[in-house]
Amino acid sequence: MNWGQYSTFEKGGFHVDKEGSDGVEVKNSVENSAKFTRSLTIFKALDRLDIIKECKERNVDVISIHLLGADYVEAKSPERVFEALSRLLYLNGIHDLDLFFSGPNLDCSLNKSSRRLFFPGESTDHSHTSKLYAKTVVKFCDDLYHAPANLELIKHLRKPDLIVCFNAGIWGYDSWKDTITAIITNSSLRCPCIVTSYNKEEADDDHVAIKIISEKASGILWNWKPSHNIFSSLVSRESGIPGRLCIENNFWQAFSGFNT
């Protein structure tokens, strides 16, 4: 599946909008890619890592996802969360999503709050059970993921099935060192972690940074090394470096702590 196919694609019980169902058409793939790159990147990761399959085998109806370094792009408001991740509600094949957003650039009004979002059309008595009426519980914390207060909060949350760091710039911010170390070494956080980057060069820099951090911790397992993300945005901007563009979620890589 790619941007030109997703509106008519249906596979393995995962429902994806069919052309005409909500006005989404292939000809709008560039515009759609900017809107839905986060939803479909997460979906592809869940599928590639067999997380949806494993949840179904364990009769688990909720997928828990932690999104780190969240900011105004996906977490300025509950409405912005829905705009950024709404397609995941179509795609995940699980009835509920449990999302935890963490990052110092979150809107302060959302800090320590919890919201419940419903896919449009679901009745208020929750009588529908169709996966098209997925519910999403969203929690916010405007602290660094590895901060002691945040780790204490996380103890009371559902253990994550997936951790996602969109366009994180691991190589450029010292604060990621302690966060990556926590993901690798904290047993309650050990699950696959996806890191996306604006281009191949930054992905390679992220990869080196993660390797250095992991060597000083307990080591990691690579689910996959830097590669092009088929659900990268198709919208680009100048990076300030000649010949290098910035494209949201253009490359991605995935790693897990030992004993996941």
**Which is nearest to 194 in space by CA: 170, 216, 174, 218?**
170
* Domains parsed from the chain with CATH numbers: 6-257 (3.40.50)
Give the tens place of pLDDT for each residue, 66-82: 999 887 677 777 777 77
Could you tell me if 191 and 260 are in contact, meaning their C-beta atoms sit under 8 angstroms apart? yes
Give the tens place of pLDDT for each residue, 179-237: 999 999 888 888 999 999 999 999 999 999 999 999 877 778 999 999 999 999 989 88
**Which is nearest to 166 in space by CA: 237, 118, 224, 232?**
232
| Encoded amino acid at 25, one letter | E
Give the tens place of pLDDT for each residue, 128-157: 444 444 567 888 888 889 988 888 888 888
Phi, psi of 14 (to 5 degrees): -85, 115
Could you tell me if 84 and 117 are in contact, meaning their C-beta atoms sit under 8 angstroms apart? no
Q: Which residues pair with 243 in a beta bridge?
A: none
Structure tokens, 210: 């993660």
Higher pLDDT, 24 or 12: 24
Q: Tell me the mean pLDDT in the region 12-39.
A: 57
Residues belonging to the chain: 260
Window from 118-127, 142-151, 221-230, 239-248 with minimum mean pLDDT = 118-127
- What is the DSSP code string of 30-78? HHHHHHHHHHHHHHHHHHHTTHHHHHHHTT--EEEEEEET--HHHHSSH
Spatial separation of the C-alpha atoms in residues 166 and 199, rounded to whole Å: 12
pTM score, two decimals? 0.83
Confidence of residue 121 (pLDDT cuts 50, 70, 90): very low
Higher pLDDT, 6 or 185: 185
User: Which residues have C-beta within 8 Å of that of residue 255, sequence separation ≥ 6?
Assistant: 192, 193, 195, 210, 214, 220, 221, 222, 223
| Encoded amino acid at 260, one letter | T
pLDDT exceeds cutoff 60 at 27: no
